Amino acid sequence: MSRAHDLGPMEPYRGPHMTGPAGERWALPDFLVRRASERIWVEVKAKAVFSWHRVSSCWVTGFDLESYEDYRAVEIATTWPVWLLFVHESAWPSESDRQHGCPAQCPTGVFGRRLATLVGHEHHRSEKWGRTGMVYWSEKALTLLAPARVVVTEETLKKIGAGGWGW
C-alpha cells in the first residue's frame, strides 16, 4: 500500500477510513485478515431477516450504497479482495413481507461472496432507503457459508478459500 492510501485515524462516531490519492475518504471494511503475505478485507452485515422483493418474488439483502462504493474503492486501491458477509438470524419474515405473500420462512445463516463478484450480480438499487440509497443482492447471488448460530468453522474458512486462500 502506498503512502497515497494512508489509513486515517478514527473519528468520533465514525469507523476507520482510508484516504485516497486525491484526498477522497473511504470507509474501511470491518476486518483486515492476514495470512503470511496475503490479505483480505471482510465486511460483516448483521441483519434480522432477508427482505421479500415483490416484483421479482425472491429474497434480497443489501446495505447502503455509500459504503458499497467505498469498499469497491478500497479493494481497487489496496488490491486486497473484499468479502461481504451477511448474517441473517431469523427465519420469520417481516410483517410487511408476510402481508405481501412471501414464503412462510426466509433463509438464515451466514451468506457471502467476494465483492468483485457481487458487483456483476446486483439485484437492484433503491433510493427509497438509507441516506445514500441501497444496493441489493438476491439470496441466489450469495453463497451460504455457515448455518445460523455458527460463527466460524473450518468448513466456513474452506468455503471462502482460507484453507489455501484460493481467491
Query: Residue 2: what pLDDT?
Result: 44
Q: Which residues of 140-153 are buried (b: 16+ CB within 10 A; e: fewer)?
A: ebbeebbeeeeeee
- Say if 124 falls within a structural domain: yes
- Say if 39 falls within a structural domain: no
Give the number of domains in the chain. 1
CA distance 83 to 29: 9
Query: Residue 65 sits in which domain range?
Result: 44-152
- Say if 2 falls within a structural domain: no
Residue pLDDT, tens place only, 1-59: 443 455 555 555 467 888 888 888 999 999 999 988 899 999 999 998 999 999 999 99
Q: Which helix (H) or strand (E) holds 111?
A: strand 109-114
- Say if 107 falls within a structural domain: yes
Q: Is the pLDDT of residue 61 over 90?
A: yes
- pTM for this predicted structure: 0.81
- Residue 36: all three cell numbers together: 503470511
- Residue 55: all three cell numbers together: 416484483
Check if the beta carbon of residue 81 is closer than 8 Å to that of residue 40. Answer: yes
- Say if 115 falls within a structural domain: yes
- 153: amino acid identity, one letter: T
- Say if 161 falls within a structural domain: no
- Say if 95 falls within a structural domain: yes
Residue pLDDT, tens place only, 79-122: 999 999 999 988 889 999 999 999 999 999 999 999 999 999 99
Query: Residue 1: what pLDDT?
Result: 46
- Say if 80 falls within a structural domain: yes
Q: Is the pLDDT of residue 67 over 50?
A: yes
